[in-house]
């Protein structure tokens, strides 16, 4: 298993400005990963990574996450063909969140619903009620055909 420097062993200056990658994993060994499309910077999805997922992403050049629901590594697009080619991996100032910049392959859909982005609904106040409204982003593939659901 891949080991990273424990962020608690670094000074604040080294953690925030140094060259040592020391992700601050949560109690479950995970860090939040925001995935954006290279070029447009459109937010595609939010997922989680553990040390193994980060290492595999860097090694393979394809975004790999930790699936909390399945309890295992998840190479994004392995089933659907909608692989995410890594362009850049960034960390925030205190190293407790990542931005995964990718080139989305296949039909261009990052979401399991077949849409480009998982963020295809807006939260709005309509006549005093909080509701969801669709952004109009149509699916790029039929998830029933791909996943058999």
Reduced to 3 states (helix: H, G, I; strand: E, B; else coil), residue 58 is helix
Q: Does 6 belong to an annotated binding site?
A: no
Whole-angstrom distance, CA of residue 29 vs CA of residue 110: 24
Answer yes or no: is 134 a known binding residue: no
In degrees, rounded to 5, the angle at the alpha carbon of residue 80 between the alpha carbons of residues 146 and 26 is 125
96 is in an annotated binding site: yes
Q: Annotated binding residue at 93?
A: yes
Alpha helices in 43-131 (DSSP H): 51-60
H/E run at residue 17? helix 12-17
The reply to whether 94 sits in an annotated binding site is yes
Answer yes or no: is 127 a known binding residue.
no
| CA 111 distance to own-chain centroid | 11
Going by the annotation, the residues of the binding site for Zn(2+) are 93, 111, 118
Going by the annotation, the residues of the binding site for Mg(2+) are 92, 94, 96
Going by the annotation, the residues of the binding site are 92-94, 96, 111, 118
């Amino acid at each position: 298993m891949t080991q990273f420097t424990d962020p608690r062993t670094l000074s604040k200056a080294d953690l925030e400005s140094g060259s040592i990658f020391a992700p601050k994993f949560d109690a479950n060994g995970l860090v939040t990963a925001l995935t954006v499309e290279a070029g447009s910077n459109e937010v595609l999805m939010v997922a989680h990574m553990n040390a193994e997922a980060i290492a595999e992403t860097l090694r393979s050049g394809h975004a790999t996450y930790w699936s909390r629901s399945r309890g295992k590594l998840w190479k994004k697009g392995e089933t659907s063909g909608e692989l995410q080619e890594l362009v850049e991996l960034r960390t925030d100032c205190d190293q407790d969140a990542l931005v995964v910049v990718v080139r989305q392959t296949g039909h261009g859909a990052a979401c399991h619903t077949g849409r480009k982005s998982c963020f295809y609904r807006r939260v709005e106040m309509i006549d005093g009620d909080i509701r969801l409204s669709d952004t109009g982003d149509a699916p790029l593939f039929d998830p029933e055909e791909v996943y058999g659901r």
